[in-house]
């Protein structure tokens, strides 16, 4: 009796130990993962602070590099931090049109902590990147349940993944994409169940939410949800047709609800949705070169090769060997996403090529996002698949041990396996906590500290209600990249609002060439909310000169911010002199009584222009230059580039460029005004040409230039 009671009591203790593992393992794993995330944030914060201090000691400031961060995310974050939640970050009166979740997180952090914009952006990207760890654990739990935390530790120890702190949308969207893959896996697994409406809606909602993070992720997730809806209809059509259609409708509703914060403001403001082809068809030269690599396309360059393919292959083998319908359904989101990512990503290798013309035409017409963004989807899914492969190895390894114990009639204590798994999990996270991999810094650059402070001043003074006109395109980038401000036109077509109408483009040109609209100068200033003009070192600005500009901020390098005070005056000119061309460079041309006829550019010429005799000027005066001639030919327009080289005592003192799109067939009377730098004593006018000027045999005759000086004014 005593022996039997003892045996029964021991059995209860053993069963209780196994139950405690099932109950406590998820909580313990979550606590260990939380500890890892907290340490990640602390290390990331310390790294950012240390880098800022080192840069400051060298007279530098750290900024996010040009491209998506500087031209889209950071302006949007600043707008949101000042309460303009739906405004375009660069344009007054426009609404946001690009995924904004990263800027929103940064804006929240700025408002909550008072952190400056540039460092807040890097901290925000670090926090978002950290969130990919619990999101990946969630995805793994869809496959191996309680073993997910141990599987994540194993994957991290094997260096299959580590957050990158990326400040590009493809990287910052990884947490949201992992979350979606997990929800979609659960929805697919239940696609044949009597009820799965909650999972269908959640999958659709998380797919729609991806639109707020990254375009290619949203498109890929939408394709997965479309497949999910189709599977649901096929699975339930013969039994409950109302449910077969109702659950997909819920998924579609979730998708629409998730993406509404991005698309609804655009529909309300513009009445339609629009993409910029220059951005959609961008070919990333780092990945694709010139986009004419047929060999890489045919060789499926984006597929993993050699050892890199081992774990993905193991994942597929596991699916095949398991012969589990539920496992295949659970893996459908990974498989669909990867096929779509590789398929569309591969197109980047041929989109500028002459091979496969029908495929290139289809790709250029219908591809919804740049090819490299889909290549990144394939990389993200590959990371997830490798981690899932490790998780499945662990899962089937544990199952194999249990089978072997039964096969050999060995009955180990029931607490043994839970104890070993717990020890492995604690040991794995302990190693990670003690040997944290180094953190990435995203795409950053170093700027002069004084110039950065000047840019901060420009942004602060202009505020959200006034834009800043910069005569030099390069000059806009020099300051705008350091700290954003509102502009009449963002000189980065890849990152500019695709709804921007031609009026904005024309107005920007008009601000640099006032004679084309002298009678409505003030109207253009007000229409674009221009309150300030920004000039480069040694430069004067016609707009600032004519609109009563007063300098309100200067940098040590000579950058100046001028406040404008419309109405703007219209100058009068006198002392005009006319000159014929006196030199040409890099041009195929012939002289005649009618003038200098330009037929094209010499192959390989680094520069191409017609120059005119030098003209003496007074520093700080406004000069009118009028180029005359004729153009003829079948092209719709001609691209001329007037310029003026400034000289001070015979030494170079800068150059001014003006870009025009001019009617291609008719008389040329191309006039623009310039304000000479205060140190300039001589200018050399030139007329440059873009290669497109001579497409289809267009001919240009250059006759002369008229130079007039502004009469004295009071």
What pLDDT, in 10s, does the model give residues 350-371?
A: 998 888 888 988 888 889 999 9
Token pair 């590009």: residue: 168
- Structure pTM? 0.85
Tokens matching residue 411: 């009955």
**DSSP classification of residue 678:** T
- Angle at the Cα of 484 (from 483 to 488), degrees rounded to 5? 145
- Whether the CB-CB separation of 546 and 569 falls below 8 Å is answered with yes
Helix, strand or coil for residue 536? coil
- Whether the CB-CB separation of 199 and 330 falls below 8 Å is answered with no
Q: What is the pLDDT of residue 266?
A: 95
Rounded to the nearest 5°, which phi and psi values hold at 371?
-55, -35
Those residues with Cβ within 8 angstroms of residue 185's Cβ, 6 or more apart along the chain or in another chain: 139, 142, 143, 330, 331, 332, 333, 334
Q: What is the pLDDT of residue 547?
A: 84
Judged on CB neighbours under 10 Å (0-12, 13-18, 19+), 405 is middle
Judged on CB neighbours under 10 Å (0-12, 13-18, 19+), 285 is exposed
- Whether the CB-CB separation of 507 and 528 falls below 8 Å is answered with yes
Whether omega for the bond prior to residue 636 falls within 30 degrees of 0, making it cis, is: no
SS3 per-residue string spanning 363-400:
HHHHCCCCHHHHHHHHHHHHHHHHHHHHHHHHHHHHHH
Distance from the first to the final alpha carbon of the chain: 119
**DSSP classification of residue 526:** H
Helix, strand or coil for residue 654? strand
Integer Cα distance of 172 and 181 in angstroms: 16
Q: What is the pLDDT of residue 3?
A: 43
Integer Cα distance of 700 and 436 in angstroms: 65
Tokens matching residue 526: 């007000």
Which of 168, 178, 188, 162 has its CA nearest to residue 385? Answer: 178
- Give the H or E element holding residue 402: helix 371-407
Integer Cα distance of 110 and 474 in angstroms: 29
What residues are paired with 553 via a beta bridge? 561
Which residue intervals of the chain bear CATH 2.60.120.260? 573-710
Angle (deg, nearest 10), helices 371-407 and 310-322: 50
- Positions in the chain short of pLDDT 70: 1-23, 238-243, 412, 415, 473, 502-503, 509-510, 512-520, 633-639, 653-654, 656-665, 692-697, 712-714
Judged on CB neighbours under 10 Å (0-12, 13-18, 19+), 566 is middle
Which of 612, 611, 626 has its CA nearest to residue 573? Answer: 626
pLDDT tens digit string along 6-30? 444 444 444 455 566 566 777 888 9
- Whether the CB-CB separation of 705 and 626 falls below 8 Å is answered with yes
Q: Where are the alpha helices (DSSP H) in 439-546?
A: 449-462, 473-480, 502-512, 521-527, 542-546
Which of 188, 175, 191, 282 has its CA nearest to residue 243? Answer: 191
Integer Cα distance of 249 and 201 in angstroms: 9
Integer Cα distance of 656 and 658 in angstroms: 7
- Whether the CB-CB separation of 595 and 629 falls below 8 Å is answered with yes
Integer Cα distance of 694 and 585 in angstroms: 16
**DSSP classification of residue 72:** I
Please report the sign of the dihedral spanned by the C-alpha atoms of residue 175, residue 179, residue 182, residue 187. negative
Q: How far is CA 258 from the centre of its chain?
A: 20
- Whether the CB-CB separation of 18 and 419 falls below 8 Å is answered with no
CATH topology of domain 573-710: Jelly Rolls (2.60.120)
Those residues with Cβ within 8 angstroms of residue 459's Cβ, 6 or more apart along the chain or in another chain: 78, 483, 484, 485
- Give the H or E element holding residue 25: helix 2-57
Q: How many CA atoms lie within 13 A of 75 on its CB side?
A: 30
Q: How many residues does the chain have?
A: 714
Q: Which residues of 16-41 are buried (b: 16+ CB within 10 A; e: fewer)?
A: eeeeebeeebeebbeebbeebbeebe
Long-range residue pairs from 547-552, CB within 8 A, at least 24 positions apart, any chain: 547/521, 547/522, 552/461
Cβ count near 673 (within 10 Å): 23
Tokens matching residue 327: 């496992």
Tokens matching residue 481: 């990249």
In terms of phi and psi (left: phi > 0; alpha: psi -120 to 50; beta: otherwise), the region of 548 is left
pLDDT tens digit string along 536-563? 887 777 888 888 778 999 999 889 999 9
Integer Cα distance of 435 and 22 in angstroms: 29
Q: What is the pLDDT of residue 399?
A: 77
Rounded to the nearest 5°, which phi and psi values hold at 572?
-115, 150
Count the helices and strands in the chain (H runs, E runs).
25, 19
Integer Cα distance of 454 and 482 in angstroms: 9
Cβ count near 485 (within 10 Å): 26
Q: What is the pLDDT of residue 712?
A: 67
Beta strands in 537-572 (DSSP E): 550-554, 560-563
């Amino acid at each position: 009796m005593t022996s039997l009671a003892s045996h029964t009591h021991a059995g209860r203790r053993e069963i209780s130990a196994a139950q405690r593992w099932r109950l406590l393992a998820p909580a313990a794993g979550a606590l260990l993962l939380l500890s890892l995330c907290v340490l990640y944030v602390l290390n990331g914060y310390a790294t950012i602070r240390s880098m800022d201090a080192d840069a400051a000691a060298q007279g530098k400031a750290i900024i996010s590099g040009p491209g998506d961060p500087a031209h889209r995310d950071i302006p949007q974050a600043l707008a949101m931090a000042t309460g303009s939640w739906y405004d375009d970050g660069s344009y007054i009166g426009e609404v946001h049109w690009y995924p904004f979740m990263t800027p929103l997180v940064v804006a929240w952090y700025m408002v909550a902590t008072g952190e400056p914009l540039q460092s807040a952006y890097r901290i925000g990207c670090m926090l978002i990147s950290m969130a990919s760890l619990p999101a990946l654990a969630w995805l793994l739990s869809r496959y191996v349940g309680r073993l997910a935390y141990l599987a994540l530790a194993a994957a991290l120890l094997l260096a299959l993944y580590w957050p990158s702190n990326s400040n590009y949308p493809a990287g910052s969207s990884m947490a949201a994409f992992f979350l979606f893959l997990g929800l979609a896996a659960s929805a697919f697994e239940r696609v044949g169940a009597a009820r799965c409406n909650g999972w269908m809606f959640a999958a659709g909602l998380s797919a729609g939410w991806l639109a707020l993070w990254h375009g290619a992720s949203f498109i890929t997730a939408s394709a997965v949800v479309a497949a999910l809806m189709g599977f649901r209809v096929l699975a339930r059509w013969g039994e409950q047709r109302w449910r077969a259609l109702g659950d997909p409708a819920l998924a579609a509703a979730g998708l629409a609800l998730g993406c509404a914060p991005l698309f609804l403001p655009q529909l309300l403001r513009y009445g339609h949705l629009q993409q910029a082809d220059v951005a959609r068809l961008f070919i990333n030269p780092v990945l694709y070169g010139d986009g004419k690599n047929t060999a890489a396309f045919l060789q499926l360059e984006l597929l993993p090769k050699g050892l890199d393919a081992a774990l993905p292959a193991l994942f597929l083998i596991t699916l095949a060997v398991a012969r589990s319908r539920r496992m295949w359904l659970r893996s459908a989101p990974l498989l669909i996403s990867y096929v779509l990512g590789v398929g569309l990503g591969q197109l980047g290798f041929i989109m500028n090529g002459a091979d496969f013309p029908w495929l290139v035409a289809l790709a250029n017409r219908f591809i919804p996002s740049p090819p490299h963004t889909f290549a990144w989807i394939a990389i993200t899914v590959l990371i997830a698949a490798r981690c899932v492969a490790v998780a499945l190895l662990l899962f089937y390894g544990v199952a194999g041990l249990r089978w072997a114990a039964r096969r050999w009639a060995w009955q180990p204590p029931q607490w043994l396996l839970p104890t070993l798994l717990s020890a492995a999990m604690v040991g794995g996270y302990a190693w990670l906590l003690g040997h944290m991999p180094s953190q990435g810094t995203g795409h950053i650059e170093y700027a002069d500290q004084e110039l950065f402070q000047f840019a901060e001043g420009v942004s602060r003074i202009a505020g959200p209600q006034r834009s800043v006109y910069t005569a030099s395109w390069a000059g806009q980038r020099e300051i705008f990249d350091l700290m954003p401000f509102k502009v009449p036109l963002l000189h980065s077509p890849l990152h500019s609002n695709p709804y921007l109408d031609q009026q904005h483009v024309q107005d920007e040109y008009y601000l640099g060439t006032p004679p084309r609209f002298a009678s409505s100068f003030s109207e253009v200033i007000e229409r674009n909310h221009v309150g300030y003009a920004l000039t480069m070192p040694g430069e004067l600005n016609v707009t600032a000169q004519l609109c009563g500009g007063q300098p309100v901020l200067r940098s040590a390098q000579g950058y100046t911010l001028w406040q404008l005070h419309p109405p703007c005056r219209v100058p009068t000119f006198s002392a005009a002199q006319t000159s014929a061309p006196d030199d040409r460079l890099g041009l195929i041309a012939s002289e005649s009584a009618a003038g200098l006829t330009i037929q094209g550019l010499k192959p390989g010429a680094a520069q191409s222009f017609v120059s005119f005799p030098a003209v003496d000027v007074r520093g700080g005066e406004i000069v009118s230059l009028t180029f005359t001639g004729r153009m003829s030919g079948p092209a719709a327009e001609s691209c001329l580039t007037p310029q003026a080289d400034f000289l001070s005592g015979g030494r170079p003192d800068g150059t001014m460029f003006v870009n025009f799109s001019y009617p291609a067939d008719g008389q040329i009377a191309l006039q623009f005004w310039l304000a000479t730098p205060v140190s300039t004593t001589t200018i050399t006018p030139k007329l440059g040409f873009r290669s497109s000027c001579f497409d289809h045999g267009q001919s240009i005759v250059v006759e002369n230039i008229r130079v007039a000086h502004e009469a004295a004014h009071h």
